[in-house]
Structure 1
């Protein structure tokens, strides 16, 4: 599989000279096309910091990151904005849907900003709405939707441009178990059928068990990587065991 994202010796420190706190310590790994990865670890392990750096929302203190062969650390802001728009999708815990737009317009927004043709946009929105079980809700506004529907709408919006990679920060954090399962089944489907590349931060072992690989962070380092294998139930058990061995997750 083609390499989409390369992280090399990434470190992150905060503070001033003499009072520096190291959050990430020489993180190195590679993400390939079609990977579905979750990042887990105890509170303060550096999960969200790592996600934000990979997603170009923050910069490392040192290290290199390339996205589809492009150095995303040292390029100019104008080029970085273009990469975010065309190559990266974001799914956040709090949906970030626009209240004054119906669901169809919310999902279509990235394509509309790119000045795509109306028919092309409509067809793409309907395709994504079918995948995420939202076709009957496209004319509704966010206040008319359940939390699960909002989050699936946010996921559909993140995927509408066929980005090289999707970053999800605790996407099930505000959802009940049924809504979480619905969202994760949809993400699993786009990963399997569309070869979407997804990296997700989560504290929940059940959520992580839907992915194909789990990277365990602790004290700013990758302690281990778990591969799913054939059984999600077995994977779930191994995730819980590993979390317990490093002090849990939150």
Structure 2
């Protein structure tokens, strides 16, 4: 299976000499094409720092981060911008949809900037909207959509360019349980049907149980890796037990 992302002895420190704090310590893991991975851990474990590093928004103090065959710690800023545009999709808690565009135009925006043919763009938007249960809402503007619909729209926009990997930062953090479930079912479907590679940071065990693999961070280190079996319910139980043994996720 093709490696999409590989971390080699990645550490991150903040501060000045003599007053440095190590947030991450020698992190090693691999993300393969088609993986759906969650990163969990207590508050202060380094989850957000790790996500910022692997998504190219920050640089490690030491170590290598290989994305699609390139060490992104050594790429110039201009090339990093191109890499984010071409290789990475982002899903944040905030939907970041443009109020003056309908949902179809919001989802299509990354492709429109790439000067694709209009008909090809429309077909692709309709296909991705169907996966996210948004086909009948494409002509609506963001103010006409629920929070869950807006977040699924943001997720569809992240996938529309077929990025090598999608990074999701607490994507269900602002949603109720039903909207969260709808989003996670859609992401799971995109992972299975479109082979989307997803790396998600979450504090919530239910959210993490939709992924296929969970890394649990504590004190800046990966303490364990959990792999999903046949049952999401059993996987949820394994996650809860492991978090409890590490003092819980806050």
Aligned to 2:73: 73
Partner Cα distance (2:59, 2:95) in 1: 24
SS at match of 2:111: helix
- Cα RMSD after superposing both structures: 0.7
SS at match of 2:4: strand
Counterpart mapping for 1:76-87 below 5 A:
76-87=76-87
Q: Which runs of 5+ in 1 are unaligned?
A: none
Counterpart mapping for 1:28-47 below 5 A:
28-47=28-47
Counterpart mapping for 1:101-180 below 5 A:
101-180=101-180
Partner Cα distance (2:184, 2:82) in 1: 28
Partner Cα distance (2:10, 2:135) in 1: 41
Deviations 1:165-209 (A, max 9, x none): 000000000111110110000100011111110000001100000
Q: Which runs of 5+ in 2 are unaligned?
A: none
Deviations 1:112-137 (A, max 9, x none): 11111111111111111111011111
Aligned to 1:235: 235
Cα displacement (A) at 1:141: 1.1
Partner Cα distance (1:112, 1:37) in 2: 29
TM-score normalised by L of structure 2: 0.99
Partner Cα distance (2:249, 2:14) in 1: 22
SS at match of 1:7: strand
Partner Cα distance (2:5, 2:142) in 1: 33
The more displaced of 42-51 and 114-123 is 114-123
Counterpart mapping for 1:189-204 below 5 A:
189-204=189-204
Partner Cα distance (1:18, 1:76) in 2: 29
SS at match of 1:236: helix
SS at match of 1:127: helix
Cα displacement (A) at 1:211: 0.4
Cα displacement (A) at 1:139: 1.2
